[in-house]
Structure 1
Amino acid sequence: MKSAYDTPALRRSALILDAVASSSTSLVAADFSKKLDLPKSTTHGLLLTMQELGLLKKATDGTYQIGPKIMHWAHAFLNQTNLVQEFQHVMLDYSDLDDHTITLSVLDGNNVVYLSCRNSRGPLGFTFKMGMHLPAAFTATGKIMLSALTDEEIRLRFDHEWPEKMTNRSVSNIDQLLTEIHQIRKSEISFDNGQIREGMFCLGVGIRDFSDQVIAGLALSLIESEATESNIDRVISTLRKISVDLSERLGAPRTNMHPDD
């Protein structure tokens, strides 16, 4: 929504940068005029100024690319962004989940490593700890991060070694894992139905960064008796909101977020 302080030139410059960043082909000045419905003279003036400021660079064939100044800002953004701090900040808005265990993890080879854990006040029968490693193939966060890879990439990861099962429910081979992964890609929600500990049920979502890549997994753990259909639906809805909130704080674009967010 535009405010009383809206600056048209700045807004148009941002739209030009968005067009360059999202286009699958290189754009020339006429493309911007057409895409943004701007007079050629206005477009020309904006492009010259953006080149002068290092926001764009012009190739010899007349096409435009993102300029070096943008990378300078991107590096500054990354230096100021801390995944764990952002996670902890976002979770302050979800005190209604205090009775549940919430974990944040990243991939470390074929394992996940836990960066932050907020254990529930009630008994879960399993305590997550910072720095803990668990097999990615069995965990909700691991499965959601693996789902961002291709089937071939996943097969290559587990080509030489399969993790030792932690429970009778742990997936036994790559084909079982890929069956779960295919479903996860459709729903964008992962499940651990007692594969880490019998009687514990976990749901996971992915966390994206400014490059729109899944860089981490977020999971909520329940005891199996709490995993009713209505409770799961409620938890999934909340997890998706947390995923969007945290991903946005890391610079992820909203365009590829879940439509219900």
Structure 2
Amino acid sequence: MSERPAGPSVTSRALALLGSFDAEHRRLTLTEMASRADVPLSTAHRLVGELQEWGAVERRPDGAYVVGRRLWDVGLLAPLQSGLREAASPFLSDVHAATRATVHLAVREGTEVLYVDRLMGTASLPIVSRVGSRLPMHCTGVGKVLLAHAPEPVRAAAMEHLVRMTPYTITQPRILAEQLERARRQGYATTAEEMTLGAGSIAVPVLRGGEVVAALGVVVADTRRGRAGLVAALRVASQGVTRTLERP
């Protein structure tokens, strides 16, 4: 007598519920999670409750669910992220001490920039990034660096969604393409009030094995003041991170 095929396991259903979140679906109701994961609502209710208790998801006051902080904490244990943060930490501190500006370490995740580490500066500037947050690449300094060195399909996909965050956000693909080419040529990228009003950024790439694996940047009020010194400080730090990453 042939055995009946086993249905989805509890683990696969829980993972499917977590996988229902993506860049376009950051807040989901229980019903939406169940539908996107193809999990019965009653089962989703039980599993999401367990995921919430563990910290994999969080429930907001309006009843919607978002990805929980504990998943980020676990993700930081992955060799790439943990090794990168450890390698970069002293050099982020050096840039922070030299500039007193907010310093960012970021990597690319799909068509977004993921902030891996941050040291807050002393100036009162509008900073929307936080460790673990994701922002568009086209309007952030670290994002432009990562986009400039991303594979062509990624650049093409990002160009299709140039959301205007401020009146100064670059939303014309031709102009952005020129900026990305300049970033590759000069070795750094800048923004001017493109993510938030009153703040700009400068960023440089971090390499490993000749490939860009991260970006290091600062947020300042005016990227024209002292730009050469800021770029120099970032480049020295980037080279230090690269050397540390490439040590046997």
CA distance in 1, matches of 2:129, 2:178: 27
* Superposition deviation, residue 95 in structure 1: 5.2
Instruction: Tell me, yes or no, if structure 1 residue 234 matches structure 2 residue 229.
Output: yes
Could you say what secondary structure the match of 1:165 adopts?
coil
Change (3 A) 1:86 1:196: same
* Superposition deviation, residue 154 in structure 1: 1.4
% identity of equivalent residues? 18
TM-score scaled by length of structure 1 = 0.59
Contact 2:206 2:214 in 1 (8 A): yes
The one-letter code of the counterpart of 1:197 is T
* Superposition deviation, residue 151 in structure 1: 4.9
List structure 1 segments (4+ residues) > 6 angstroms apart after TM superposition: 78-81
Change (3 A) 1:116 1:123: same
Contact 1:124 1:223 in 2 (8 A): yes
Instruction: Tell me, yes or no, if structure 1 residue 245 matches structure 2 residue 240.
Output: yes
Residues 1-261 of structure 1 mapped to structure 2, 5 A cutoff: 82-94=83-95, 96-97=97-98, 99-149=100-150, 151=152, 153-155=154-156, 157-158=157-158, 161-209=160-208, 211-224=209-222, 227-229=223-225, 231-251=226-246
The one-letter code of the counterpart of 2:130 is K
CA RMSD in angstroms, aligned pairs only:
2.4
Contact 2:203 2:216 in 1 (8 A): yes
TM-score scaled by length of structure 2 = 0.62
The one-letter code of the counterpart of 2:227 is I
* Superposition deviation, residue 94 in structure 1: 4.1
Unaligned 5+ segments in structure 1 are 1-77, 253-261
> Which one has a bigger Cα radius of gyration?
1
Q: Deviations over 1:124-178 (max 9, x none)?
A: 12243111111011111111111113556512x236x414211111111322210
Could you say what secondary structure the match of 1:82 adopts?
helix
CA distance in 2, matches of 1:138, 1:166: 8
Change (3 A) 1:175 1:145: same
